[in-house]
Amino acid sequence: MIPVSEAVRGMVRETPFLEELLEEGLINYSSLARKFRPVISERLRKDVSEGAIVMALKRMPPAGPAMQHKLKAFLRNLGDMVTRTNLMDFTFRNSPTLLENHARFLQSLGREREIFCTFSQGVHETTIIIGHRGAPMMQTWFKEEKLLSRKTGLSSVTIRLPAENTEISGFYYFILRQLAWEGVNITEVISTTNEFTIVVSEKEIKKAFSILLSLKQGF
């Protein structure tokens, strides 16, 4: 049977943002223990006192200081941020002809160098995000494909990442956590080796950009 401390740690990590709030002293231990007690008692198949849960909460180790130092240094070294507006998001069901039509679409798009376009293929569906000027070409080459979703009025922020980004644990979580805390709804996330792009509604682009800029300048 697992100890109380391990059961409490598991509960904390299952709850979004709770670990950070505990570290910052923004959570009442007794109130949290009362909320946790029925679930932890059920998991351990025995009655667990609120006092034991409070003690386990207080003894939880903080996030590693070495990793926090690496994350701070990494954020200070983030590269340029580029915003784009008037984007559209199309999601199609995968089909035998989809790749062929996509290749023809990219060939026709090659003559329009200023049109932003990204392509992401999943197991069952494919999403294309494109500037509004490319919409007519989308309708031409994908008119026979099954359209699952179409979203308009979108904008994006792209961040240039330092080369060591793949060695920094928790970077993406930290960025997405800050946006979630501020209530920014993310429509899409696009990632390459050294670039990270979030797509949001046009009404939220200023807020998203401000949050990301503050992380770069003031963390």
Together in a domain, 25 and 122: no
At 62, the amino acid letter reads P
Q: How does the average pLDDT of the chain come out, rounded?
A: 85
CB atoms within 10 A of CB 87: 25
* Residue 75 placed within a domain: no
Assess whether 121 and 201 both reside in one domain: yes
Note the pLDDT of residue 112. Answer: 66
> Are residue 40 and residue 139 in the same domain, yes or no?
no
Residue 144 sits in a domain whose CATH number is 3.30.2130.10
The reply to whether 8 and 114 lie within a common domain is: no
Answer yes or no: is pLDDT of 77 > 80. Answer: no
The total domain count for the chain is 2
Long-range contacts of 16-21 (CB under 8 A, 24+ apart): 16/180, 17/177, 17/180, 17/181, 19/60, 19/63, 20/177
- Residue at 74 is within a domain: no
Q: Does pLDDT of 153 surpass 90?
A: yes
**Range of 39's domain?**
4-62
Residue 67 covered by a domain: no
219 pLDDT above the threshold of 70: no
Q: 120 and 148 in one domain?
A: yes
The per-residue pLDDT for 213 is: 87
Residues 213 and 144 placed together within one structural domain of the fold: yes
- 171-186 confidence digits (pLDDT tens): 787 788 889 888 999 9
pTM equals 0.71
Do 193 and 110 sit in the same domain of this protein? Answer: yes
Categorize the per-residue pLDDT at 203 as very low, low, confident or very high, splitting at 50, 70 and 90: very high
